[in-house]
Amino acid sequence: MKWYIAKRLAWSVVAALIILTIGFVLMDIVPDQNLQVAQFEAQQDGQSAEQAAQAYKEQRGLDEPLVDRYTSFLVGFVQGEWGWSYRYDQTVVQTLQQTIPYSMMYGVPAIILSTTIGLVIGLYSAVNQYTKTDYAATLFSFFGVSIPNWWFGLVLLVVFGAFLGWFPIEFNERLAQTADGKLTWLQTVDSSSHPAFIGQDAGGQQQVGILSPANLRQLVLPTFVSMTGLIAAMTRYARAEALEYVDAEFVKTAKAKGVSNWRIVARHILRPAAVPLSTILVGRFLGLFLTGSYLIEVVFGIPGLGLASYNAIIEQDQNLVLVTLLVPTFIVLAGNLAQDIAYVILDPRVSYGDRS
C-alpha cells in the first residue's frame, strides 16, 4: 500500500506538470489583448507602439524566452512565490486567500446536502423500483444532469430575483465582512458605518458575517443550482449500485428472518454499495463541483475562485490563471488518491500490493 501511494503521488506530480505546461504554452500562444490596447493607446498619444509593447512585456516579465519564464515560474511555485496578479493588483496568494472562502460558502453546503439527499433518494428509488417515486427520481436525475448550470442560474435569478424579489440579484460580498474588510462568522454592526449597507434603507443594528441572514439569503440560489447536478449524479449512482444488492440472496434471507426494512437498507444494501460509491463521492463529485463553479460564480457574481480564474483568463493574468488551474487539479488528484485508499479500507478484498 505504501508503494502504491508513493507511485500515485509521483504520477500526480507528473499529471500536474503536464497540465501546467499545456496551460503555460496556451497562455503564451493566445494574443494578448492588453498588449494591443497598450500599443493602440501609445499610437493615439503619438508615441511609439513598439516601445510601448516592449515596456509592457518588461513590466510583466514577457520579454524573456518561453523556457526561461516557464523555469522561473516552476522554481517560484515550489518555493511558494506564486507571482503577482495584475488583475487584482496583489500577490496571487492574497487573491486565493480572498476568493477561496467565497467558493466554500456555497460549495461546502452544496456538497454535504447533495451527498445526503442524493444518497437517500437513490436508495429509496432502488428499493421501490418501477414505482411512481422511482420514475420521478429518474426524471429528476435526467433533468439535473442535462440542464446547464449557467442557464438554470439565470432563470432562477430572473424568476426569484427580478420578478418575485425573494433573493438579491447582485451578490454583496461585504455582507460577509467586517467594516475593515475581514471575513467574520457573525457580528452585529451599525448599518450607517458599514460598507455593505451603503445606499440602502437599512437602519440601526444589522448582522453581517458568513452566517448572517442576509449573506445566507444571497447564497441560497447558487447553492441550489450547484446541488441540482450533484444530487442528480449521486441519485443515479446510488440507485445503480443499490440495485445490485436489492435482490441479493443475503437480502432475501434478512427479509425472511423478519429484519426491518430500515435495517436491511442500512446494513445489507448501503454497506456493500458504499464501496463503489466512495469512489464517486471523492473523485467525480469534486470534479462536477469544480467545473460547475466557474459559470455559477460568473452568473451570480460571487467573488470566488471560479470568478477569479475567469477574470484572469479574460485579462490574461498568467500567474493567476496557472495557479487557479493547479488548485482544482491538485484537489481532484488528491481526491482520486483518497478514494483509492477508501476503497481498500471499505473492501478488504481489494489490495494494491503491500497491505499493512
Whether residue 211 lies inside any domain: the answer is no
Note down the domain range covering 124.
98-166+222-346
pLDDT in tens, 61-97: 777 888 888 888 888 888 888 888 888 889 999 999 9
Identify the top-confidence range among 168-177, 186-195, 322-331: 168-177
Whether residue 320 lies inside any domain: the answer is yes
Average pLDDT score, the chain: 84
pLDDT in tens, 310-322: 999 888 888 899 8
pLDDT in tens, 234-247: 888 888 888 888 88
- Enter the pTM of the model: 0.84
Q: What is the CATH number of the domain that holds 258?
A: 1.10.3720.10
**SS3 (DSSP) at 177:** strand
Please name the residues in contact with 200: beta carbons below 8 A apart, sequence gap of 6 or more: 191
Whether residue 243 lies inside any domain: the answer is yes
- Helix H segments across 128-171? 132-146, 149-156
Q: What is the pLDDT of residue 171?
A: 92
Q: What is the pLDDT of residue 130?
A: 86
Q: Which three cell numbers stand for residue 317?
A: 493574468
Work out how many domains the chain is built from and give that number: 1
Q: Which three cell numbers stand for residue 266?
A: 442500512
Whether residue 198 lies inside any domain: the answer is no
Ordered DSSP codes for 156-208: HIIIIIIIS-SS-SS--GGGGB-TTS-B-S-EEEEGGG-GGGTTS---SEEEE
User: Looking at per-residue confidence, does 39 or 178 come out higher?
Assistant: 178
Whether residue 175 lies inside any domain: the answer is no
Burial status of residue 103 (CB atoms within 10 A of its CB: 0-12, 13-18, 19 or more): buried
Total count of residues recorded for the chain: 356
Whether residue 15 lies inside any domain: the answer is no
Q: Which three cell numbers stand for residue 232?
A: 442528480
Q: What is the pLDDT of residue 101?
A: 92
Q: What is the pLDDT of residue 40?
A: 77
What percentage of the chain has pLDDT greater than the value 70? 91
User: Is 278:339 a contact under the CB 8 Å cutoff?
Assistant: yes
State how far Cα 282 lies from the chain centre.
Answer: 13
Whether residue 352 lies inside any domain: the answer is no
Rounded Cα distance between 93 and 323, Å, is 9
Residue 338: pLDDT over 80: no
Whether residue 149 lies inside any domain: the answer is yes
